[in-house]
Amino acid sequence: CGVFGVIGPPDAASFVALGLHALQHRGQEAGGIITHEARTGFHAAHRFGLVRDNFTKASLIDSLPGSLGIGHVRYSTAGSKGGTQIRDVQPFFGEFTMGGAAIAHNGNITNANALRRELIERGSIFQSNSDSECIIHLMARSIQRTIPERMKDALRRVEGAFSIVAMTRTKLIGVRDALGVRPLVLGRLGDVWVLSSETCALDIIGAELVREVEPGEMVVIENGEVQSHRPFEARRPRFCIFEHVYFSRPDSILGGRSVYETRRAIGVELAKEAPVEADLVCAVPDSGTPAAIGFSQASGIPFAMGIIRNQYMGRTFIEPTEQIRNMGVRLKLNVNRALIRGKRVVLVDDSVVRGTTSLKIKEMILDAGAAEVHFRIASPPTAWPCFYGVDTPDRDKLLAANMTADEMRVHLGVDSIRFISLDGLYRAVGEAQGRDASEPQYCDACFSGDYPVRPTDMISAGRIR
Ligand code: 5GP
Ligand code: SF4
Ligand code: MG
């Protein structure tokens, strides 16, 4: 998901809508905005679909007055079995003795089921199926006298990954879990302060990056001032390495590094680790493009646009049903036949999850008359589900959990397939010595099975041991 918040401009909702539009790649299922105006109080709108189709000036923006606002774009994660309802769409709102508060959450609470059961037994009435709603109920039960203090209380009971943007009548609040698994940055445009999942949403409104909200930090912004709190026990951060590989936009800056540059470096590493003789390097666009450019630069094999992407399709993976996902590949990608015929092609993609994309692409590219197809993948084999906010399926559906690389080569019917090594990936994100196995610098659980936060609910449900 993507979260965004702003305090200070007369028309906060316009800023939030622009910010969410720049974060749309983080979730396309639904979006919501809550604002506050001193005279009229809180205002909210939640809609399915894209920000640009819903939050226009003529329709919703004018119904969201005020100079303080937060928003959320939703990407449904594994939990939403019966499909998302509009009441699952964030931000969520709660009324407390000291006034209202709204929160927008990116990440996943790994003990949400356990907390929900306990809260329901004690009288909480849940409105949604979302794990994030627990936070509101935990806040309601807190005996603290301010909303930031109640949030701290609540979040100390929550396990898992969270980057949260929240607001009261007068404050904009940002929090990251102690490991800082999901991103969150602080930006500013004159007197206006902004919180955003990624820096690309600061660019769209002309705000400058001040700094990241740090892992384990809560920032409270009021009257143009930023206060920093440290509600959680300090730990070595474990930022999601997959944000660098796929999830974030390539024009964002993560941990002081250009995402594009990291992806290009992954391609360079891949060319070193898994060289191959070929005529063309092609990307599976858009997510494979920067790594393909790096592969081409390091190998000297020319880069070409052998696969063309229909710009009017979103991210295929994010369509929740199997059937749509299968069609999705063809709706989104097509082979540039004239270029491919008779060529030995290196195809670079960011990751192989179920293998749906790779299988379809291989069919299309052999159909177009390619002489050879060599897959080069910009992440290690995805062999474990993510429980921290990225929607990966259970192990039985993950290709790499059930096949060796050589079995995948046979299954996909390609001439070769190679994945970047975990150490190679760490080098590409700037860790010259590779992965520190005793205390890894990132979360890489979907590749290593090394989960930095115990997935409590998944263990209880028997989905993992
Ligand atoms: P597959 O078709 O193998 O199931 O998924 C691989 C494709 O989906 C890749 O081209 C990649 O761009 C995208 N993708 C891969 N991993 C993930 C993920 O964990 N989350 C999301 N949202 N998309 C992914
Ligand atoms: Fe990121 Fe993978 Fe960790 Fe999930 S398991 S937070 S996708 S590195
Ligand atoms: Mg892709």
Domain chopping of the chain, boundaries: 2-237, 259-433
- Does the ipTM surpass 0.90? yes
pLDDT tens digits, one per residue of 402-423: 999 999 999 999 999 999 999 9
Question: 92 with 133: CB under 8 angstroms?
Answer: yes
pLDDT band per the 50, 70, 90 thresholds, residue 80: low
Q: Which residue has the tokens 């559906």?
A: 397
pLDDT band per the 50, 70, 90 thresholds, residue 458: confident
Select from 24, 29, 248, 357 the residue to mutate for testing ligand 1; criterion: most ligand atoms less than 8 Å from CB: 357
431 CA to centre of ligand 3 in angstroms: 25
Q: What is the CA radius of gyration of the chain?
A: 22
Res 81 pLDDT > 80: no
Which of these ranges, 7-21, 248-262, 290-304, 350-364, has the smallest mean pLDDT?
Answer: 350-364
Question: Which residues are marked as active site?
Answer: 1
pLDDT band per the 50, 70, 90 thresholds, residue 57: confident
Question: 248 with 241: CB under 8 angstroms?
Answer: no
Atom of ligand 1 nearest to the CA of 354: 4
C-alpha 43 chain-centroid distance:
27
Would you state the pLDDT for residue 328? 66
What is the third-level CATH fold of 259-433? Rossmann fold (3.40.50)
The contacts of residue 18 (CB under 8 Å, 6+ apart) are 201, 204, 205
Res 13 pLDDT > 80: yes
242 CA to centre of ligand 3 in angstroms: 13
Average pLDDT over all residues of the chain = 94
Residue of minimum CA distance from atom 4 in ligand 2? 386
The contacts of residue 447 (CB under 8 Å, 6+ apart) are 241, 379, 380, 381, 382, 383, 384, 422, 425
pLDDT tens digits, one per residue of 393-404: 899 999 999 999
State the Cα angle at 165 between 162 and 169, rounded to 5°.
Answer: 145
Q: Is residue 134 marked as binding?
A: no
Q: What is the mean pLDDT of residues 12-24?
A: 98
CB-based burial label for 411 (10 Å; 0-12, 13-18, 19+)? middle
Res 197 pLDDT > 50: yes
266 CA to centre of ligand 2 in angstroms: 17
Beta-carbon neighbours within 5 Å of ion ligand 3: 287
Question: 376 with 352: CB under 8 angstroms?
Answer: no
pLDDT band per the 50, 70, 90 thresholds, residue 78: very low
pTM of the model as a whole: 0.95
Tell me the sheet residues that pair with 416: 374
Question: 283 with 289: CB under 8 angstroms?
Answer: yes
Same fold across 2-237 and 259-433: no
Q: Which residue has the tokens 């369509």?
A: 319
Cis omega before residue 203 (within 30°)?
no
| HEC-encoded secondary structure of the chain | CEEEEEECCCEHHHHHHHHHHHCHHHCCCEEEEEEEECCCEEEEEEEECCHHHHCCCCCCHHHCCECEEEEEEECCCCCCCCCCCHHHCCCEEEEECCEEEEEEEEEEECCHHHHHHHHHHCCCCCCCCCCCHHHHHHHHHCCCCCHHHHHHHHHHCCCEEEEEEEECCCCEEEEECCCCCCCCEEEEECCEEEEECCCHHHHCCCCEEEEECCCCCEEEEECCEEEEECCCCCCCCCEEHHHHHHHCCCCCEECCEEHHHHHHHHHHHHHHHCCCCCCEEEECCCCCHHHHHHHHHHHCCCECCCEEECCCCCCHHHCCCHHHHHHHHHHHEEECHHHHCCCEEEEEECCCCCCHHHHHHHHHHHHCCCCEEEEEECCCCCCCCCCCCCCCCCHHHCHHHHCCHHHHHHHHCCCEEEECCHHHHHHHCCCCCCCCCCCCCEECHHHHCCCCCCCHHHHHCCCCC
CA distances from 248 to 122, 197, 407 (A): 39, 9, 30
387 CA to centre of ligand 2 in angstroms: 7
The contacts of residue 291 (CB under 8 Å, 6+ apart) are 263, 264, 266, 267, 270, 283, 348, 350, 376, 378
pLDDT band per the 50, 70, 90 thresholds, residue 326: low
pLDDT band per the 50, 70, 90 thresholds, residue 10: very high
Res 163 pLDDT > 60: yes
Angle between helices 356-367 and 405-412 (to 10 degrees): 50
Res 82 pLDDT > 70: no
Q: Is residue 438 marked as binding?
A: no
Would you state the pLDDT for residue 391? 84
CB atoms < 10 A from the CB of 123, how many?
A: 9
Would you state the pLDDT for residue 229? 98
Atom of ligand 2 nearest to the CA of 447: 2
pLDDT band per the 50, 70, 90 thresholds, residue 459: confident
Closest ligand by atom to 360 CA: 1
Residue 448 backbone dihedrals phi, psi, to 5 degrees:
-110, -20
Q: What is the mean pLDDT of residues 21-35?
A: 96
Would you state the pLDDT for residue 325? 63
CB atoms < 10 A from the CB of 230, how many?
A: 12
pLDDT: which is higher, 158 or 330: 158
Would you state the pLDDT for residue 167? 98
Would you state the pLDDT for residue 315? 61
Q: What is the mean pLDDT of residues 434-444?
A: 97
Q: Is residue 200 marked as binding?
A: no
Residues with CB under 6 A from ligand 2: 181, 240-242, 386, 388, 390, 443-446
Res 316 pLDDT > 60: no
Select from 319, 351, 395, 399 the residue to mutate for testing ligand 1; criterion: most ligand atoms less than 8 Å from CB: 351
Residue of minimum CA distance from atom 24 in ligand 1? 317
Question: 412 with 347: CB under 8 angstroms?
Answer: no
Would you state the pLDDT for residue 312? 80
Kindly state the percentage of the chain with pLDDT values over 70: 95
Kindly state the percentage of the chain with pLDDT values over 90: 87
pLDDT band per the 50, 70, 90 thresholds, residue 392: confident
Residues with CB under 6 A from ligand 1: 246, 284, 287, 315, 317-318, 349-358, 390-392
What is the third-level CATH fold of 2-237? Glutamine Phosphoribosylpyrophosphate, subunit 1, domain 1 (3.60.20)
